[in-house]
Chains A and B, each alone.
Chain A
Amino acid sequence: MILFDGVSKRYPQGHEALNGVSFELAAGELAFLTGHSGAGKSTLLKLIMLMERPTRGQVLINGKNLNRLHASQIPYYRRRVGVVFQNHQLLFDRSVYDNVALPLLVSGYNARDIGRRVRASLDKVGLLTKEKQNPITLSGGEQQRVGIARAVVHKPRILLADEPTGNLDPALSAEIMQLFKDFHEVGVTVLIASHDLDLIARMGKRVLTLQSGSMAQGETSVSG
């Protein structure tokens, strides 16, 4: 589903974020991406989202080479990927419902479909009762769950998360991780960047470790 083939990314300032990274993630697999800050976790996710382009090498998603994707096709590509951010990137000028509905609005779904899907998604993260509230009134854990609801509302085949538990206490973090596991169990390919090694160990899933831009040898794979 996700294939990195000798991918390097050098930023214009000369900083080399990734250096010859290769790995493959099968469809429906859940994996963690770890490494100290600055190791290139975010850059790797940005390459999958086409927020950045690789300097060398290629990224294949579902067999399709992202290098060959024209800029005008990027929006349509992104509609098939869900992303969750550490700072959840919610909009505080609208309700929880409108935040979650955004990917569907952008893709041109009709109003009836949007209502059905948004409620299903909010129900999944346990926030159905808060759809009318402004996300600013929610707790950190709830905000993160709104972010997850928005990331999965259009039923993407791939779900990416960048430090989704970064600001949360262990109990809430475990809750969030369980959500990702649920999506993995219904066949979504999930890649989570995190430095919460304890939590990752408890999940018992494949771990990809980045060390100053390179994939560490002997990636740990714990069967869960």
Chain B
Amino acid sequence: MSRGNQRPDREFAQTARRGGASGRSGASESSALWRDRLHSYVQHHGDNCAEALRRLGRTPLQSLMTAMVIAIALALPAALYVAVLNLQQLGGSVQTNSQVTIFLRGDAQAPAIEPLLTRLRGMPGVEAVTYLSPDEALREFQALSGFGDALNLLDENPLPPVVLITPGESLRVDFAAAERWVQGIAADPLVDDIQLDMKWLQRLHSVLDIGRRLAFALGVVLSLGVLLVVGNTIRLAIESRRDEIVVVKLVGGTNAYVRRPFLYTGLWYGASGGVLAWLLVAGGLWWLAEPAARLAALYQSQFALQGLGASGFVALPALGALLGLVGAWLAVSRHAASIDAE
């Protein structure tokens, strides 16, 4: 067997000798062979990569449809993810305005309230404490509510003393800590009731949690879909090139050599699907940007729709390419490996 092996090698060596300076050592000859092999390996990859793209270009409509299926499968979870991101941003901007209102007992006297205020100011996670006496509360109510005249009919001020607290970052983010903090204050004998307008934020937070998980689950399921779509497309491509595979294997093509063009086809399908998915999401956001800005203006909010950004432009095609590659790999290892000369 070794003699048979030497023949082409000797040919290579002769070529190397002819091409280079005379008197080369055996080592440099064999390294020329090694360089030849490496060079042709790299070139084969390049050729396959370009050829796979050309093949897709030969059936543009069919290729576009496959890429579009992949694009939709990738765009759905990506769009959901973007929606969650935007809601989170919205929640964050509202959270900064959130306040805790502590209603004190109506019979609480000013000297007793003062130490409570000091205690509240000293608590970790409290940013600002504002005290509103019943008189101040009444004035504010008269000024803002328009029921001033009605209040004049009452014998005495029905409003209790109120403490307004702006919670700090730590309490706004950690709802469990906020809950414990509220319970600690509620235990004070002076405190009648606590209103926490963070309740709905907690709900939003939970909804966002569900949304994130949903996006992830949808992503996993639809990624599986992409694998199947690419796998099936590649399976058909393998069938249509069956003769070629048989001949390549007969003349000594390795399984890797046979696999390569199909892997590149899968890669291109996935990557182009990813680019299209990014365009779909970006197009959707562009379509929503104007009404979203109008809505934000109505609420005097700084909110602006957040997109996938540059990292998304890299991540979606990269994810698509990876899925395409894996899908193609599954199809090729299942189908191409079993094709042999008959």
Chain A residues within 8 Å of B15, by CB: 112-113
In the complex formed, the residue of B with least CB distance to A60 is B1
Would you call B39 and A63 a contact (CB within 8 A)?
A: no
Would you call B247 and A63 a contact (CB within 8 A)?
A: no
Q: Does A133 contact B (CB under 8 A)?
A: no
Would you call A154 and B8 a contact (CB within 8 A)?
A: yes
Q: Does B4 contact A (CB under 8 A)?
A: yes
Q: How many residues of A contact B (CB 8 A)?
A: 36
Given contacts A61-B1, A108-B40, whether A150 and B243 have CB atoms under 8 Å apart is no
Would you call A108 and B243 a contact (CB within 8 A)?
A: no
Stretch at the interface among A6-14, A75-83, A196-204, A207-215: A75-83
A46 to B254, alpha carbons, bound, how many Å? 18
Would you call B251 and A109 a contact (CB within 8 A)?
A: no
Is chain A's interface secondary structure helix, strand, loop, or mixed overall? mixed
In the complex formed, the residue of B with least CB distance to A82 is B251
Would you call A155 and B340 a contact (CB within 8 A)?
A: no
Chain B residues within 8 Å of A46, by CB: 341
Would you call A91 and B40 a contact (CB within 8 A)?
A: no
Would you call A75 and B253 a contact (CB within 8 A)?
A: yes
Chain B residues within 8 Å of A111, by CB: 40, 43
Q: Give the shortest distance, in Å, between A25 (CB) and chain B (any CB).
A: 14
Q: Does A221 contact B (CB under 8 A)?
A: no
Q: Does A179 contact B (CB under 8 A)?
A: no
Q: Does A136 contact B (CB under 8 A)?
A: no
Q: Give the shortest distance, in Å, between B15 (CB) and chain A (any CB).
A: 6
Greatest chain A CB density within 10 A among B244, B340, B341 is at B341
Chain B 32-52 against A: per-residue CB contact (8 Å), 1 yes, 0 no? 000011011101100000000
Would you call A157 and B251 a contact (CB within 8 A)?
A: no
Would you call B252 and A79 a contact (CB within 8 A)?
A: yes
Greatest chain A CB density within 10 A among B1, B252, B340 is at B252
Q: Give the shortest distance, in Å, between A149 (CB) and chain B (any CB).
A: 12
Q: Does A138 contact B (CB under 8 A)?
A: no
Chain A 106-148 against B: per-residue CB contact (8 Å), 1 yes, 0 no? 1111111100000000000000000000000000000000000
Q: Give the shortest distance, in Å, between A205 (CB) and chain B (any CB).
A: 22
Would you call B251 and A102 a contact (CB within 8 A)?
A: yes
Q: Give the shortest distance, in Å, between B4 (CB) and chain A (any CB).
A: 4
Chain A residues within 8 Å of B36, by CB: 108-110, 113
Q: Does A89 contact B (CB under 8 A)?
A: yes
Chain A residues within 8 Å of B37, by CB: 108
Q: Does A172 contact B (CB under 8 A)?
A: no
A80 to B6, alpha carbons, bound, how many Å? 10
A76 to B249, alpha carbons, bound, how many Å? 10
Q: Does A103 contact B (CB under 8 A)?
A: yes
10 A-B residue pairs with CB within 8 Å: A64-B1, A75-B253, A79-B8, A89-B247, A93-B244, A106-B248, A108-B40, A109-B8, A109-B40, A155-B8
